[in-house]
Amino acid sequence: MALIVHKYGGTSMGSTERIGNVAKRVGKWARAGHQMVVVPSAMSGETNRLLALAKELAPARHSDAYGRELDMLASTGEQASSALLAIALQAEGLESVSYAGWQIPIKTTSAYTKARIESIDDTRVRTDLAAGKVVIVTGFQGVDAGGNVTTLGRGGSDTSAVAVAAALKAAECLIYTDVDGVYTTDPRVVAEARRLHTVSFEEMLEMASLGSKVLQIRSVEFAGKYKVPLRVLSSFTPWDIDLAEEARSGTLITFEEDEHMEQAIVSGIAFNRDEAKISVLGVPDTPGIAYQILGGIADANIDVDVIIQNVSKEGKTDFSFTVNRADYARAMDILKERVLPSLGALELTGDPKICKVSIVGIGMRSHVGVASKMFRCLSEEGINIQMISTSEIKTSVVIDEKYMELAVRALHKAFDLEQQAA
């Protein structure tokens, strides 16, 4: 049979009862003859609890020493859930063994709290699989060249699972979550949102980058780079559901477009509340000004998203960009302390209460007027657009955060997403 990787989120691992159900589900696949590797997240709320303890002892700092200890602390959540799952599998009569990321090892960069996977040694895992064991690998973590424990950032267990699946050349990587697939938008915002049976890799990559919380963007990037078949499905279906039925459920992220995809101009509406806008006003309109502004931001490992530079007027221009809201204060400090004194800018302004709303669909490649329809829809709702960003299969707008849900509902209706065959 096949080598399969399962990944279970924190909600799926949220109690000993749920861990027991995960063990029964994994056991069903193993007894069917599959070689099984499981990548669990920490139990729901555990990572937040651990980081809150650190914050009680010391306010947030930005030094490598502080980041190193945060990673040491946060990584213990996945180690606990992995060991508990191994124990539960053994109670089910299956041989199983759990490993922390450094034991495999999963080698990463040294960017604490935001490390990136560089390589995975699959020797140990393959030996155990050949011996008939279920192998459990901690998600979210690895080890750098200096032997320090590192973590991959929020949602990093998704990336761990896909990377492990790629290293092992797994037949499929199944991402079990508390939802039953990828929807046209968040059902908590739009009740009429529909589940998609399939979504293209390109669309999923855009949705993940634009705020969809179903999959971490780096996990989708890994899947695309190494052509890992990926499926999102629910861990809350009965564990004893028919295996063939379970294997067809959820949403398949596919690398091949089909006629059904071509019918959908827009496949989904993504949104991100965690955005903040920064504007540097009245800077000299000279070559290299963008680098002078953003170089220090990049050096601090802060990701920049939407960027707009206005038309020059009297040799001056305004430069605006967005960052994750968690990085807003640090980005502002960097600009005030290191960048603005040398630029001669007139003013630095910021707004941490904005959001980004996006329409995504591979059908946008061959249809005109999609962006204008989006803009008209928002205009009719009285929503002002602050920034616009486009690619071949998406259009994103930055708007005031208070209009986010109104915008998502209006766009979902305008593009008839509740009527598309899911």
Confidence class of residue 234 from pLDDT cuts 50, 70 and 90? Answer: very high
Task: Tell me the two tokens of residue 383.
Answer: 């929503």
Percent of the chain with pLDDT over 90: 72
User: 219: exposed, middle or buried (C-beta count within 10 Å: 0-12, 13-18, 19+)?
Assistant: buried
What pLDDT is stored for residue 338 in this prediction? 76
Do the beta carbons of residue 394 and residue 360 sit within 8 Å?
A: yes
Left if phi > 0, otherwise alpha if psi is -120 to 50, otherwise beta: which for 189?
alpha
Secondary structure E strands in 243-315: 251-254, 268-284, 304-309
Mean pLDDT of 240-246: 95
Average pLDDT score, the chain: 91
User: 90: exposed, middle or buried (C-beta count within 10 Å: 0-12, 13-18, 19+)?
Assistant: middle
pLDDT digits (tens, 9 = 90+) for 119-170: 999 999 999 999 999 999 999 999 999 999 999 988 899 999 999 999 999 9
Q: Answer whether residue 7 shows pLDDT above 90.
A: yes
Rounded to the nearest 10 degrees, the angle between the axes of helix 201-209 and helix 217-226 is: 160
Q: Give the rounded distance of the alpha carbon of 334 from its chain centre.
A: 26
CA distances in angstroms from 22 to 9, 88, 266, listed in the order given = 11, 9, 35
Q: Answer whether residue 238 shows pLDDT above 50.
A: yes
Rg (alpha carbons) of the chain, rounded to whole number:
23
Dihedrals phi, psi of 133, to nearest 5 degrees: -95, 150
Tell me the one-letter amino acid at 34: H
* Residue whose token pair is 């855009």: 206
Residues 6+ apart with CB under 8 A from 45: 10, 14
Q: Give the rounded distance of the alpha carbon of 98 from its chain centre.
A: 25
* Residue whose token pair is 């006003």: 281
* Residue whose token pair is 């960052």: 323
What pLDDT is stored for residue 262 in this prediction? 45
Q: Answer whether residue 348 shows pLDDT above 60.
A: yes
What pLDDT is stored for residue 286 in this prediction? 86
Q: Identify the structural domains of the chain with CATH numbers, from first to last.
A: 3-256 (3.40.1160.10), 268-419 (3.30.2130.10)
Distance between first and last Cα of the chain:
30
Q: Give the rounded distance of the alpha carbon of 69 from its chain centre.
A: 23
Pairing between β-strand 134-137 and β-strand 96-99 as defined by DSSP bridges: parallel
Tell me the one-letter amino acid at 229: P
Q: Which of 18-22, 196-200, 338-342, 406-410 has the lowest mean pLDDT?
A: 338-342
CA distances in angstroms from 142 to 78, 169, 409, listed in the order given = 11, 19, 40
What pLDDT is stored for residue 4 in this prediction? 98
What pLDDT is stored for residue 346 in this prediction? 79
CA proximity to 360, closest of 266, 243, 240, 271: 266
Confidence class of residue 282 from pLDDT cuts 50, 70 and 90? Answer: confident
What pLDDT is stored for residue 408 in this prediction? 97
Q: Answer whether residue 225 shows pLDDT above 60.
A: yes
Spell 318-352 as b/e; 16+ CB within 10 A means b: bbbbbbebebbebbbebbeeebbeebebeebebbe
Q: Give all strands of the β-sheet with 134-137 in edge-to-edge order.
A: 96-99, 134-137, 35-40, 3-8, 172-177, 230-234, 251-254, 198-200
- The full DSSP string for 263-275 is H-S--EEEEEEEE
Q: How far apart are CA 139 and CA 142, in angstroms?
A: 8
Q: How far apart are CA 292 and CA 339, in angstroms?
A: 7
What pLDDT is stored for residue 420 in this prediction? 56
pLDDT digits (tens, 9 = 90+) for 177-217: 988 999 999 988 999 999 999 998 899 988 887 767 788 88
Mean pLDDT of 169-173: 95
Mean pLDDT of 258-267: 63
